[in-house]
Every structure is written in structure tokens, then in C-alpha cells.
Amino acid sequence: GNYHYISPEKKHLIATLSIGMNNLEITWRTNVSERTIRRLLANWRKTGNVTILSDKHGRPRTLSLLDMDYVEGLLERTPDMYLSEIQKALGDARDVYVSLATISNSL
């Protein structure tokens, strides 16, 4: 998808910049889309927080962020690994057993 992680620090910066700049100027300076800035600022005005407090949205992930960090490390060392090799490594090192399709969809 088009999702890009934005750190809480950057979100606080955007909220601070909004006091003296319009959304287009903030977009230009932070390289964050205007739509994202509008949503972030609406959340900030509504809740007083720039981050969404609950991380329980949608279905739980099959592979955790730590699992994906592990896979990323594997692929940095061996970029031409087969999915089946990644699957075996996840099982051996992380005690995580998922289908080849899950691994493929997560990459």
C-alpha cells in the first residue's frame, strides 16, 4: 500500500508548524501528504494527541514487526532467498510458522 510510517516526533513537528503555516507549506517542508496532515491535525484538535492511542485496528498481523525486521535482515544479507528458505528461517529462529503466501504478501 501507500502507508509510510511517520514518527511521533514528526507528527508533533507538523502540529507545531500548523500554528504558523498552512497545510501546503507543511507538506512542502515535511514531505507528508496534505491529506495526512489534515487527518493528523483533525485528530490533534479532537483528542489533543497527534498519535492514535489504540493500535487495535483491523485484523491482528500474522507476522509481527519484529518478525518482519528479521525477514528484512535475512534479505539484506541474502537478497535472492526463496520464500521457502525464509519460511524455514522464521520457524527455526523465531518459532513462527506461516504460509508462503503470507510471507509473499508481507514483502
Provide the residue ranges of all domains of the chain, joining segments of one domain with +: 8-47, 65-106
pLDDT average, residue stretch 50-73: 82
pLDDT classification of 101: cutoffs 50, 70, 90 = very high
pLDDT per residue over 3-59, tens digit each? 788 999 999 999 999 999 999 999 999 999 999 999 999 989 988 888 876 656 677
pLDDT per residue over 52-61, tens digit each? 766 566 777 8
pLDDT classification of 2: cutoffs 50, 70, 90 = low
Helices (H), 1-107: 8-17, 23-30, 34-47, 65-77, 83-89, 100-106
Residue 89 burial class via C-beta count within 10 angstroms: exposed 0-12, middle 13-18, buried 19 and up: middle
Instruction: Give the pLDDT confidence score for residue 59 in this predicted structure.
Output: 79
Find out whether 15 and 45 touch, Cβ atoms under 8 Å. no
If one counts every other C-beta atom within 10 angstroms of the C-beta of residue 57, the result is 6
